[in-house]
Amino acid sequence: MDLDMGKYAFYVWGCYGVSAVALIGLTVLSVVAHRDRAAKLKALQETLAAEKAQKVDA
Amino acid sequence: MALAAYPRNAYEKPMIISWLANPERFSKVFAPVRPYLAAATAILFVWGLYLCFASPEDYQQGDTVRIMYIHVPAAWMGLFTYLVMGVSSFFGLIFRHALADAAAKAAAPIGAVFTALALVTGSLWGKPMWGTWWEWDGRMTSVLVLFLFYIGYMALHASIEDEMRAAKSTAILALIGLVNLPIIKFSVDWWNTLHQGASVFRADGPTVAPAMLWPLLIMALAYHLLFIWLWLVRIDSEILSRKYNGLRARISFREGGA
Amino acid sequence: MPFAIRVEGLSLKKGYKLLISELNFEVGPGECVALTGANGVGKTTLLRALAGFAPPHSGSIRIGDDNSDDSIVASNSHYLGHAESLSPSRRVDQELSFQCAYLGGTAQTLAEAVGKLRLNGLLDLETRMLSAGQKRRLSLARLLMVRRPVWLLDEPMSPLDAEHRASLAGMMQTHLSEGGLIVCAVHDPLPFETRELRLVRAEIGEAVYG
Amino acid sequence: MIPAALALLKRDLSLAFARGGGPVLAAGFYITLMAMVPLSLGPDAQTLSRIAPGLTWLCLALASLLSLERLFERDYEDGVFDLLRTGPLALEAVALLKCLAQWLGTGLILSLMTPVVMIILGAPADAAGLSLIAALIGSLSFSLIGGVGASLTLGSRKGGVLIALLVLPFYVPPVIFGAGLMDAYVTGAPIAQALGLLGAYGLFALALSPIAMGAALRSALN
């Protein structure tokens, strides 16, 4: 492993840094959005099921 | 006299053209695959990044050669994603698959990020190598236009409220873009030869030494897997939100009254 | 073979919602079908599908004898929707002569339509200055300027006053007596014999994709 | 069919010219833009004459964007398309005729002004004929591609800016070929290739854009 980039440190680490931020950011956004939507859908489905159950009881 | 025809119950079975085109089934099949895909992506990234810094310096470019390992895959993925979007849009438009629309929409932001990374890392590579942040050569200009396509595509999708219409309009845009990209690339290359004196890049780009091939290949593979994984997550997001909207529409329909 | 509309197994969607499912009906020459039903039940959607503006989700619409080709539907029918298809900055006579030339009428049929609908006093006005009733009468002119067997009318009476309602009813009856067909979305019953097609709200099942 | 097409063309032209809308606006914008050039770059004749052809093409492309937003929007909102669709013309033909009317109302006038503007900026006077032909082909391509952008954004909330964003990448080839053509002429290089490419792109736009506009309009209108 050679982690000393010498005089090019700014450019090399800049590239890897920007790429890491962008790709990790995209991943986090995608996964969080996915979780949110799954939770929202589940909540709605549960309310509907509860309503239905109530109707059957009544 | 009333006609004897009344609309029947509107319960509809989704049309099955191909097995996986059913969004429900698509979700079910790929949900268990996604964690493995995520793990494989992570492993490949660790391995690839190790190779990036374990490989020797280039005798000409020195340490900046390590930029290539993330720049070139990003550029490839920018193009590849557009191809994926174009093909998805084609299926969405011709066969009216809702899943294909979702697939095209889900791919766009990923492609935009890859393309932006290609531009930024290219610029950061160009400065130490050629002494300039930006060179108006054919390749960079074309990638910039590609990036603008992604922006336009996403802006168009966001600006049309009706989901079906948005899908259709953006699919048409993606297809026109697919046909036009080679023409734009050609025109930019033609323009570049016209003004060749200004260009500092070699037309064929740097040749890759074998020792540098491995890190490049592994990183490219990691980028591909990352794309596929993110794509699947985002498609599933789309399916979930459509299902949610469908349920909402059904409730408002039921409670709407006359 | 006289004209007829045959609708078989027709399903129509609006967005993700299936509004009309498996609808069957026929309209023969000299017949007027009155579409009734609550708001949002799909009357306009059905009329637009009959005009060939939106493809059916499934099923078929046949107009005439054999096929339901888009252009054939269009050139055999008049569609009058809620929007009056008028440009606000153009004068009434300009709009009339454009519609007449575009749809294939003649100067003579134009003059006749103007006479029958008593549009003479409006000809030099810009359409944005007209009242809703006047605009509707202007739209009705194309039914007379260019003879077509099928009239698809979306609540044609609503902006008109009593006098003009009666005269439109007369126009429709004349059209029927000449062997024409009318499909007409209405809220109030028409003052002549019609067949009623009542659309009922479809029970939406699962969220529908595609 | 032909009387219907003529009637539609006549109507759209009269709408375009009514109250000095599109054409005067586009011409005024074009001139203003060109007047800004020496003001921003300095009046040095040598610099100006070198960049005149390219700048003219850039301004032509920008001015062509102006009236696109209203190309289909007004008829869409007024429900005129319901009437147009019950006529003898296919939606593709309707769209093409509307583009043609829009071009006659703006692109043609901008093209006629192009040689004058170029010469004012210092291009040689004998380039006038060629620049007119190139501008005619170029502006027609701009109108057709612009029509596609206008049909795609129909009914969306941010019409104008969005059309520009969608359409400008597709303006790249004609701008390159057109400006390259004038460059070649001024420097004495052969012009056949650039002219051929410009014409080919125009034909390509003519063939493809009605199909795309028809599909987009159909989806917006149903």
Q: What pLDDT score does C9 carry? A: 86
Question: Which of D165, D171, D204, D213 to mutate to probe the B interface, most B CBs <10 Å?
Answer: D165
Full domain range(s) for residue B158: 71-196
What ipTM describes this predicted complex?
Answer: 0.86
Question: Which residue, C77, C81, C116, is CA-closest to C96?
Answer: C116
Asked if pLDDT for residue C174 goes beyond 90, the answer is yes
Stretch 88-127 of chain B: residues touching chain D, C-beta under 8 Å: 93
What's the sign of the alpha-carbon dihedral B143, B145, B146, B150? positive
Give dist(CA C98, CA B171) in Å, integer.
35
Nearest to residue C55, comparing CAs of D72, B168, B91? B168
Residue D169 in contact with residue B145, Cβ under 8 Å? Answer: yes
Q: Which residue has the higher pLDDT, B189 or C108?
A: C108
Whether residue C108 is predicted with pLDDT greater than 80 in this model: the reply is yes
**Residue B71 CA: distances (Å) to CA of B3, B29, B68, B117, B236:** 68, 33, 5, 7, 29
Distance (Å, rounded) from C-alpha B196 to C-alpha C121? 70
B113–A23 CB contact, under 8 Å? yes
Cα separation, D52 vs D46, whole angstroms: 10
* Number of alpha carbons in the 13 Å side-chain half-sphere of residue D204: 16
Q: Cα B146 from chain centroid?
A: 11
Tokens of residue A20, six digits: 């890491």
> Cα separation of D78 and C83, whole Å?
6
Distance CA B169, CA B187 (A): 26
Domain ranges of chain D: 2-221
Looking at the domain assignment, is residue B96 inside a domain? yes
| Cβ-based contacts of B165 with chain D (< 8 Å) | 155, 219-220
Helix or strand or coil: residue C1?
coil
A interface with B, Cβ–Cβ below 8 Å: 1-3, 5-8, 11-12, 14-16, 18-19, 22-23, 26-27, 30-31, 33-34, 37-38, 40-41, 44-45, 48
Tell me how close the Cα of B148 comes to any Cα of chain D, in angstroms. Answer: 7
Relative to beta strand C17-27, strand C5-14 is antiparallel
Residue range C159-172, pLDDT digits in tens: 899 999 999 999 99
Q: How far apart are CA C95 and CA C78, in angstroms?
A: 16
Q: Which residue has the tokens 């309310």?
A: A47
Inter-chain touch B3–C203, beta carbons under 8 Å? no
Count of structural domains, chain B? 1
**Is D86 close to C86, i.e. CB distance below 8 A?**
no
- Produce one character per residue of D23-52: b if its CB has 16 or more CB atoms within 10 Å, e if not: beebbebbbebbeebbeeeeeeeeebbbbb
Look at chain C and count its residues.
210
DSSP 3-state of C210: coil
Strands C5-14 and C181-185, bridge-based pairing: unpaired
Quote the tokens at residue B84: 């994926």
Q: What is the pLDDT of residue A9?
A: 81
Report d(CA B113, CA B154) in Å as an integer: 12
C72 contacts: CB under 8 Å, gap ≥ 6: C63, C64
Cβ neighbours, 10 Å, residue B148 = 17
pTM (predicted TM-score): 0.87
Q: Is C101 on the interface with D (CB under 8 A)?
A: yes
For chain C, how many structural domains are there in total? 1
Taking 50 as the threshold, does the pLDDT of residue D82 lie above it?
yes
In a domain, C68, yes or no: yes
Give the DSSP H/E element, type plus range, for residue C25.
Answer: strand C17-27
Q: How much of chain C exceeds pLDDT 90, in percent? A: 38
Contact residues on chain B for C207, CB-CB shorter than 8 A: 242-243, 245-247, 249-250
Range(s) of the domain holding residue C135: 5-198
Question: Please, which residues have CB within 8 angstroms of residue B7's CB and are 6 or more apart in sequence?
Answer: C20, C21, C22, C23, C199, C200, C202
User: Side-chain half-sphere of D211: how many Cα atoms within 13 Å?
Assistant: 9
Q: Which amino acid is at C63?
A: I
pLDDT for the residue B83: 94
Q: What is the pLDDT of residue C203?
A: 54
Residue C144 — very low, low, confident or very high, per pLDDT cuts 50/70/90? very high
Q: Which of D142, D148, D128, D219 is nearest to D174 (CA)?
A: D142
Tokens of C177: 């007596």
Among B190, B171, B194, smallest CA distance to B182 is for B190
Nearest to B155 among D165, D169, D170 (CB): D165
Give the rounded distance of the alpha carbon of D147 from its chain centre: 9
Provide, as residue numbers in chain B, all residues whose Cβ is less than 8 Å from the Cβ of A5: 63, 66
Contact B124 A14 (CB under 8 A): yes
Tally B–C CB contacts below 8 A.
92
Task: Name the DSSP letter for residue C126.
Answer: B
**pLDDT at res. A10:** 86
Asked if B204 contacts B138 with a C-beta cutoff of 8 angstroms, the reply is: no
Structure confidence at residue D6 (pLDDT): 94
pLDDT at D222 over 80: no
* Cβ neighbours of D18 in C, within 8 Å: 89-90
* DSSP code for C77: E
CB D177 within 8 A of CB B187: yes
CA distance D63 to D5: 27
- CB proximity B248 to C under 8 Å: no
Mean pLDDT for D117-146 is 90
Amino acid at A1: M
Residue C63 phi/psi, 5-degree rounding, is: -120, 130
Check the CA dihedral C71-C75-C78-C80 and report its sign: positive
Q: What is the per-residue pLDDT for B195?
A: 64
Chain D within 8 Å of C85 (Cβ-Cβ)? yes
From residue D48, how far is each of B114, D29, D55 by CA, in Å?
39, 20, 9
| Closest to D110 measured CA to CA, from D202, D16, D25, D9 | D25
Short-list B27, B39, B23, B26, CA closest to B229: B39
- DSSP code per residue over chain B: -B-S--------PPP-SSGGGSHHHHHHHHTTHHHHHHHHHHHHHHHHHHHHHHSPPBTTTBTTHHHHHHHHHHHHHHHHHHHHHHHHHHHHHHH--HHHHHHHHHHHHHHHHHHHHHHHHHHHHHHHHHS-S----HHHHHHHHHHHHHHHHHHHHHH--SHHHHHHHHHHHHHHHHHHHHHHHHHHHHHHHHTGGG--S-TT-PPPPHHHHHHHHHHHHHHHHHHHHHHHHHHHHHHHHHHHHHHHHHHHHHH---
For residue D157, pLDDT over 90 is answered with no
DSSP 8-state code for residue C91: B
The reported pLDDT for the residue numbered B254 is: 65
Lowest mean pLDDT among A10-19, B119-128, C1-10, D138-147: C1-10
The DSSP 8-state label assigned to residue C152 in this structure reads E
- Per-residue pLDDT for chain B (258 aa), expressed as one digit of tens each? 333 333 333 333 344 445 666 777 888 888 889 999 999 999 999 999 888 888 777 767 777 788 888 999 999 999 999 999 999 999 888 877 778 889 999 999 999 999 999 999 998 888 888 788 887 777 788 899 999 999 999 999 999 888 888 889 999 999 999 988 888 888 888 887 776 544 344 444 555 667 778 888 999 999 999 999 999 999 999 999 888 887 887 777 666 543
The tens digit of pLDDT for each residue in D11-70 reads 999 888 876 567 888 888 888 888 888 888 888 888 888 888 888 888 899 988 888 888
Tell me the mean pLDDT in the region D171-192: 89
Nearest to B15 by CA among C41, C19, C14, C11: C11
Residues in B touching A45 (Cβ below 8 Å): 247
Hey, are the CB atoms on B53 and A8 less than 8 Å from each other? no
Distance between CA atoms of residues B222 and B39, nearest Å: 11
**Cα separation, B2 vs C76, whole angstroms:** 26
- Local structure of C86: helix, strand or coil: coil
CATH code for position C180: 3.40.50.300
pLDDT at B15: 44
Question: Residue B158 is encoded by which pair of tokens?
Answer: 């966001």
Are the CB atoms for B138 and B188 separated by under 8 Å? yes
Q: Does B142 map to a domain?
A: yes
pLDDT digits over C39-77, tens only?
A: 878 889 999 999 888 888 888 888 876 554 544 556 788
Mean pLDDT of chain C: 84
